[in-house]
Amino acid sequence: MFKKTLLASLLLASFMSAPTALAASAGAIPGPVAVKTAKYAVETYRNDVVDLLGKLVSFNTVADPKVPSDQNPVHIAFKNVLKEEAARLGLDYTDYGWTVVIGLGQASERLGIVTHGDVQPVDPSKWKKSPFVLDRTSEPGKLIARGAEDDKGPIATALYAMKSIRDNGVPLSKRIELYVYMGEESDWGPLTEFLKTHVPPQMSITLDAEYPVVTAEKGGGTVAVTIPASSAQTPAAGVPFIQSFKGGFFGTQIPEDAQAVIANATPELEKLIRARGAQQDGMAYSFAWNEANLTVTGKGLSAHSSKPQEGVNAVSMLADALAVQAWTDTTAGAVVNYLNDMVGTGIHAEKFGNIAYRDSFMGPLTFAPTVIRQLDDGIEVAINVRRPQGKSSDQLTAEINAALAQWQGRRVPLSNIKIGVREPWILQNPPQLPTLLSTFSYFTGMKNPKAVAIGGGTNSRLFPNAVSFGPAMPGKKYTGHSEHEFITTKQLLLNLQMYTAALVELAK
């Protein structure tokens, strides 16, 4: 009975699987043309794509708050390189100011590729070589530069994917358009305006996040408050107090650096802080004395603020290391108390009233202090928020206000409270999803990939039917926005193949 059933089911399985397998290979995605073109791309252009990346990263395209992108000489010079490259590769080029479109083909139906040419600020002192010279040698296999992963590597690969499709004369039913926006990291306003009059492609892939395919993004936001100098309490004479506290670099980077000065400090206090800091994973502390002032400097690990779990937040950790005694609410002391009372060392707003929640697909709300800034009238504490679906913006804002009110009742009044919480974004059943998932699976060997949600926000949400497809592999640290940004040569070339094949499949 057992044998007979087993045999029968084996027979049935082989009978069933043969035609299924045949059918799959006949209509498999990626098909033979896509695979052949992808192979051609990597064999022909493996060096050119790296050289082009080297050219693109040589421009420090960080936003200048005083000069709009369309008048910024560095942005204009960067776009001129894109123009020359487009001409050299046989692609058409249109400069719309903040946005450049590089196209292939004439069909009225269009497929978009969404990227950006601007970068985040960088601290060159943290780099082995200039962040604006592609470093191919310091760490073999890695291409290190600001923008290597975010988002100039994707631009270089997209251009050579288009070139390879052109070289091979692949028949296209859709025109392919590469969008390079110059304000993604600073200001989405000009792109939003542009898309009110410019009709975008009917479908797009965004190359600015991770694989396999991103169909949802958390809503980003900030909770910024100022601890006003006017409400500072005066410490009792001779008692240790926090004289200053600062840390962080920009709003979408998990801070790597933080520093506090303790006045009237004692060796005993230093010992306690050292011991508490030593309990923290990934933090390194240094201590310096200037008479009775002790400066405590903490170093963590920078990361993209949408992935606080990939970094070590020096601001949160330093505040925690100082929690070896109660601190008077001097301005800086109140900053430390605020961080310890309301944030702690967690990343999910565990201590901030009732705001914490999670969604089964999009994951938990994340909550990370990013910049502590000395102002004329106090110290500003900015916390970066990334929140999934499941609460309305009104509800979340009300809960944040309630938590702040509660803290102020207990400690000191805050000023200049700025709460901005954006809506999460989710796209149901985008038409390109199956093609992208099977292309990813084919080139990576990963079985049954599924759509994912991310904490970051991309320009996908401004384009119809746009989903992110790479450039980072799932489970790998995303290095964009960090002080150690790179893309591996292997990943760049894998992306070149996947983008080429995906474009062939979606535009054929």
Tell me how far apart the terminal alpha carbons of the chain are, to the nearest angstrom.
52
- We find the least distance from the C-beta atom of residue 445 to Zn ion, in angstroms, to be 27
- C-beta atoms surrounding 439 within 10 Å: 31
Decide whether 249 or 327 has the Cβ nearer to Zn ion. Answer: 249
Token look-up 């009917």 returns 202
Kind of pairing, strands 363-364 and 366-375?
unpaired
Nearest to Zn ion by Cβ — which residue?
A: 150
| 485 belongs to the binding site for Zn ion (CB under 5 A) | no
- We find the least distance from the C-beta atom of residue 206 to Zn ion, in angstroms, to be 9
- We find the least distance from the C-beta atom of residue 14 to Zn ion, in angstroms, to be 48
- C-beta atoms surrounding 339 within 10 Å: 28
- We find the least distance from the C-beta atom of residue 457 to Zn ion, in angstroms, to be 9
Decide whether 115 or 222 has the Cβ nearer to Zn ion. Answer: 115
Token look-up 């405590």 returns 296
Decide whether 240 or 456 has the Cβ nearer to Zn ion. Answer: 456
- We find the least distance from the C-beta atom of residue 209 to Zn ion, in angstroms, to be 8
Token look-up 């119809």 returns 464
Q: Return the residues of window 78-117 that contact Zn ion according to CB under 5 A.
A: none
Amino acid at 455: G
Decide whether 338 or 486 has the Cβ nearer to Zn ion. Answer: 486
- Cα 494 vs. chain centroid, distance in angstroms? 20
396, 354 Cβ separation under 8 angstroms? no
Which residues pair with residue 177 across a beta bridge?
103, 112
- Could you tell me how many residues make up the chain? 508
Decide whether 251 or 390 has the Cβ nearer to Zn ion. Answer: 251
Decide whether 277 or 311 has the Cβ nearer to Zn ion. Answer: 311
- We find the least distance from the C-beta atom of residue 216 to Zn ion, in angstroms, to be 17
Decide whether 150 or 210 has the Cβ nearer to Zn ion. Answer: 150
CA-wise closest residue to 153 among 163, 144, 165, 141:
144
Question: For residues 467 and 408, what is the distance between their CA atoms, to the nearest angstrom?
Answer: 42
CA-wise closest residue to 501 among 460, 462, 470, 461:
470
- We find the least distance from the C-beta atom of residue 487 to Zn ion, in angstroms, to be 12
Decide whether 150 or 485 has the Cβ nearer to Zn ion. Answer: 150
- We find the least distance from the C-beta atom of residue 120 to Zn ion, in angstroms, to be 8
Question: For residues 440 and 24, what is the distance between their CA atoms, to the nearest angstrom?
Answer: 16
- We find the least distance from the C-beta atom of residue 100 to Zn ion, in angstroms, to be 16
- Take residue 469 and report the two structure tokens written for it: 């497809």
CA-wise closest residue to 234 among 330, 326, 377:
330
Which residues pair with residue 219 across a beta bridge?
387
In the shown chain, the binding pattern of residues 140 to 179 toward Zn ion, with x for contact by CB under 5 A and - for none, equals ----------xx----------------------------
User: Count residues contacting Zn ion (CB under 5 A)?
Assistant: 3
Query: φ and ψ at 122, to 5 degrees?
Result: -140, 150
Question: Could you give the C-alpha distances from 379 to 170, 252, 294, in angstroms and in order?
Answer: 59, 19, 20
CA-wise closest residue to 109 among 20, 200, 198:
200
Decide whether 164 or 305 has the Cβ nearer to Zn ion. Answer: 305
- We find the least distance from the C-beta atom of residue 349 to Zn ion, in angstroms, to be 25
Decide whether 114 or 294 has the Cβ nearer to Zn ion. Answer: 114
Instruction: Look at the alpha carbons of 250, 253, 256, 261 in this order and tell me if their dihedral is positive or negative.
Output: positive
In the shown chain, the binding pattern of residues 198 to 217 toward Zn ion, with x for contact by CB under 5 A and - for none, equals ----------x---------
Name the site residues for Zn ion (rule: CB under 5 A).
Answer: 150-151, 208
